[in-house]
Amino acid sequence: MNILVLNSGSSSLKAALIDTVSGNTRLELSLERMLDQPIIKCKGTSFNLVLEGRKKLLEKALDHLKGQCSDHEIHGLGHRVVHGGEAFSQPILIEDEVEKTISDLAKLAPLHNPLNLLGIQVAKAAFPSMPHIAVFDTAFHCTLPKRARTYALPKELAERHGIRRYGFHGTSHAYVAELAAQHLGQDLRQLNIITCHLGNGCSMAAIEYGRSVETSMGMTPLEGLVMGTRSGDIDPGILIYLKDRADLTLSGLDDLLNKQSGLKGLSGISNDMRDIIEKASEGDEDCRLAMQVFAHRVRKYIGAYAATMGGVDAIVFTGGIGENSAVIRHRIAQRLDFMGALINEDKNTDVELSHENPVADFAMNHSRVRLLAVKTNEQLSIAQQSAKLIAEENKVNTLPPIPVAISARHMHITQETLEELFGKGYQLTEKKPLSQPGQFAANETVNIVGPKNTIERVRILGPVRSKNQIEISRTDEFFLGIDAPIRESGKVVNSPGCVVVGPKGKVTLNEGVICAWRHIHMTPEDAALFQVKDRDIVEIKIENGERSLTFGNVLIRVSPKYKLEMHIDTDEGNAAEIGRNAMGALVLTSKEAHLKSRRI
């Protein structure tokens, strides 16, 4: 498919016609300096426009683009939208209701969303018969757990104003993480990756088994790393202090933090890392400090994110600085031996990324953690996401419904642990079969002891397994006093342990307590029918009387041994008021998923 990708920003419009299969850019146009000397650049030529209203300039640019595009078939347009708030967790076809929501979200991104929206409106008028897709910078971070997305502010105030951490650069973080996983020959959902997008804007993400669980930008793109002109993290008390001492107005503070700080403020000369590196090598102390503060902040976050995920398999560097600067990569990645990341200085210096070779590994061969430089391509990613959605929108949902079952807390047990708890040679006895073939609820129960409380009579599910695993709900976690991660069954590394008490003994488990990731069991035949594969993540819509609920982030598990069934835990079942015989439907199109239903 050929998708025209548009990025309508504060002073420029960037457009690219991209072939989503080859990844090639067929045509590029930019409208720059919209605020002082508007100029259009296209196909190696450029010409100036008369300075007039933003809308008129955009119309002229798109008109020109249309003329240039006539040789190519266009299948749709993909628009970059900065803020999707809580409403959009994936790309969406832009209908009137979507435009209105993007417009409402201007309160969270006043500098970006209105300009993105204007670009959409002008493009819709220029290409009225085409599908227009919005792809959001925030969407990839919609999986941030509450603990990571919540600011310690009064709850009511935060809720009223939508104050929480959203994260940005999501398209880039997701894209480079996927390329990194492909390069490592592994499924992204088997890896813990830290991605560092170091461009003019800078942010990092902790991507645990394919989901963003932490990111450095927050409610706005101002939080986190030192950037070209943005300060990143500062003590918020400084603002209060400065307001009085430096007589700064709110717009003065805004200008200070967004435009005069970061590398520009520290160095006093430039927001461009290339200039700073050059001056630093000539002896400029301010530039030296700018480099140090920049790299120090990234290192600090790497340590924090490794701790957040309980380990890391790869650290990815991208963006103009991350892709091109061996010096900065060196400053960030040296002395990470303690966490198993060993930089190979020669390989780091030799990194040269291109469209054909977008990934370079610059770790020592024996480094446990891989260090990767990856060329990001947000335009291609937006084009691919748009093309996928356009293909999906054309499908009709004739798929069978999926039975939904609520799974109560339970334990999977090893034979060894069983014998410690119930006596030598003990065998599980079947109380009743479970819907998954071969599985049964046993007569045997155990008591689970946490630091705070004990839950009695937790049922063991048979047959015995190779690892102990206790699956509890969020409510159970707080009752027991255990902080369990959301995991798919079988993934117990770095999970907390607990004490398990049986009639003949007690066992202290070092790991094994998880909160099960909502999932669907299915056979390979079902998977072919639903056109999904093992470990895909889907959305399921459950019609429940008056209300419909869409469960995002549902994991697909495929095995010939399974029977088609979606499993959610008791908390989720209660929240959704789901009773027996509930049925879910696989959500195929973004229209089905959004705006018409409440999302969980």
CB 77 within 8 A of CB 3: yes
Q: Name the minimum Å distance from CB 326 to ligand ADP.
A: 8
Q: Which residues 343-382 are close enough to bind ligand ADP by CB under 6 A?
A: none
Pick 199 or 358: Cβ nearer ligand ADP: 199
Pick 225 or 472: Cβ nearer ligand ADP: 225
For residue 257, the tally of other CB atoms under 10 A from its CB is 21
Q: In what order do the strands lie in the sheet with 132-136?
A: 45-48, 39-42, 25-32, 13-19, 2-8, 76-81, 132-136, 92-93
Sign of CA dihedral 570, 574, 578, 584: negative
Q: Name the minimum Å distance from CB 359 to ligand ADP.
A: 16
Pick 272 or 393: Cβ nearer ligand ADP: 272
Residue 378: closest CA among 329, 321, 318, 322: 318
Which residue stretch of 73-81, 247-255, 316-324, 384-392 sits at the interface with ligand ADP (rule: CB under 6 A)? 316-324
Q: Name the minimum Å distance from CB 592 to ligand ADP.
A: 33
Is 228 near ligand ADP (CB under 6 A)?
yes
Q: Name the minimum Å distance from CB 348 to ligand ADP.
A: 13
Sign of CA dihedral 321, 327, 332, 338: positive
Is 30 near ligand ADP (CB under 6 A)?
no
CA distance 126 to 129: 9
Is 258 near ligand ADP (CB under 6 A)?
no
Q: Name the minimum Å distance from CB 216 to ligand ADP.
A: 14
Total residues at the site for ligand ADP (CB under 6 A)? 13
Amino acid in position 399? L
Which residue stretch of 44-52, 133-141, 270-278, 548-556 sits at the interface with ligand ADP (rule: CB under 6 A)? 270-278
Q: Which residues 183-202 are close enough to bind ligand ADP by CB under 6 A?
A: 199-201
Both structure tokens of 379: 């335009």
CA distance 121 to 105: 16
CA distance 522 to 540: 14
Is 272 near ligand ADP (CB under 6 A)?
yes
The catalytic residue among 137, 476, 526, 569 is 137
On the 0-12 / 13-18 / 19+ scale of CB atoms within 10 A, 258 is middle
Pick 194 or 588: Cβ nearer ligand ADP: 194
CA distance 302 to 333: 9
Q: What is the dihedral of CA 506, 511, 512, 514, to 10 degrees?
A: 130
Give, as one character, the DSSP assignment of residue 409.
P
Q: Is there a catalytic annotation at residue 137?
A: yes
Pick 178 or 272: Cβ nearer ligand ADP: 272
Is 325 near ligand ADP (CB under 6 A)?
yes
Q: H or E stretch including 488?
A: none
CB 551 within 8 A of CB 568: yes
Distant-in-sequence contacts of 569-572, Cβ < 8 A, 24+ apart: 569/406, 569/407, 569/408, 569/409, 569/471, 569/473, 569/474, 569/515, 569/516, 569/518, 570/406, 570/407, 570/408, 570/409, 570/473, 570/475, 571/473, 571/474, 571/475, 572/406, 572/473, 572/518, 572/600
Is 170 near ligand ADP (CB under 6 A)?
no
Which residue stretch of 107-115, 230-238, 266-274, 335-343 sits at the interface with ligand ADP (rule: CB under 6 A)? 266-274
Candidate list 321, 343, 441, 449; residue touching ligand ADP; CB under 6 A: 321
Cβ partners under 8 Å of residue 148, min gap 6: 165, 213, 214, 215, 308
Task: State the pairing for strand pair 132-136/76-81.
Answer: parallel
Q: Name the minimum Å distance from CB 470 to ligand ADP.
A: 44
Is 32 near ligand ADP (CB under 6 A)?
no
Q: Name the minimum Å distance from CB 135 to ligand ADP.
A: 16
Is 9 near ligand ADP (CB under 6 A)?
no
Pick 287 or 458: Cβ nearer ligand ADP: 287
CA distance 446 to 417: 11
Candidate list 7, 267, 324, 384; residue touching ligand ADP; CB under 6 A: 324
Q: Name the minimum Å distance from CB 199 to ligand ADP.
A: 2
Is 210 near ligand ADP (CB under 6 A)?
no
Pick 347 or 599: Cβ nearer ligand ADP: 347
Is 62 near ligand ADP (CB under 6 A)?
no
Candidate list 320, 340, 463, 552; residue touching ligand ADP; CB under 6 A: 320
Give the number of residues written for the chain.
600
CA distance 236 to 258: 14
Pick 354 or 581: Cβ nearer ligand ADP: 354
Cβ partners under 8 Å of residue 543, min gap 6: 583, 585
CB 302 within 8 A of CB 194: yes
Is 274 near ligand ADP (CB under 6 A)?
yes
Candidate list 94, 179, 206, 273; residue touching ligand ADP; CB under 6 A: 273
Return the residue nearest ligand ADP (CB atom): 320
Site mask, ligand ADP, residues 419-458, x = CB under 6 A?
----------------------------------------
* Contacts to ligand ADP by CB under 6 A: 199-201, 228, 272-274, 277, 319-321, 324-325
Catalytic residues: 137
